[in-house]
Amino acid sequence: MIRIHTDGSCRGNPGPGGWAWAAGRDAYASGADARTTNQRMEVLAVIEALRANPLGPVEIVSDSTYVVKCFHDSWHVGWLRRGWKNSQGQPVANRDLWEQLIPLALEAGRDVRFSWVKGHSGDPMNDFVDALATEAADLQRGRSSRD
């Protein structure tokens, strides 16, 4: 199982943002969005990680309870059953991104697991993706280990 750490960053909410993923220090990528939110960047980081690593079982490690609880607590099941409404009957925030992520994470025949890590707690890989996402938000450009 490949372990991929993800993170999102935003300077203001909304504001300039960045996302990042890393499967160790030798395989990583980041990107930017000029006007976004932190939660959008957290979700986009996972989408980009799964797209870049399409084969085999994956563990996504994120400091975003928003991302992790969607799958651990099966929020997506209720969203779909209620026609993309949350438990309060409101439209699901960031639906456009969730519509991309949910099929990637639940694809038949692929094992994708989600784990939560406390942010800014000294976890070396969480600190690494945080630095990449923050850099992308600040500079408004990403980078990749393939550059």
| Domains and their CATH numbers in the chain | 2-139 (3.30.420.10)
- The per-residue pLDDT for 118 is 93
Peptide bond into 14 cis (omega under 30): yes
86-106 pLDDT, tens per residue? Answer: 999 999 999 999 999 999 999
C-alpha to C-alpha distances, 99 to 55, 93, 105, 122, 147, nearest whole angstrom: 20, 11, 11, 32, 29
- The per-residue pLDDT for 146 is 79
Task: Examine the pLDDT at 65 and tell me if it is beyond 90.
Answer: yes
Question: Nearest CA to 68 among 138, 4, 115?
Answer: 115
- The per-residue pLDDT for 25 is 94
Note the pTM of the prediction, 2 decimals.
Answer: 0.96
Residues forming beta bridges with residue 112, ordered by sequence position: 58
The maximal CA–CA distance of the chain, rounded, in angstroms, is 44
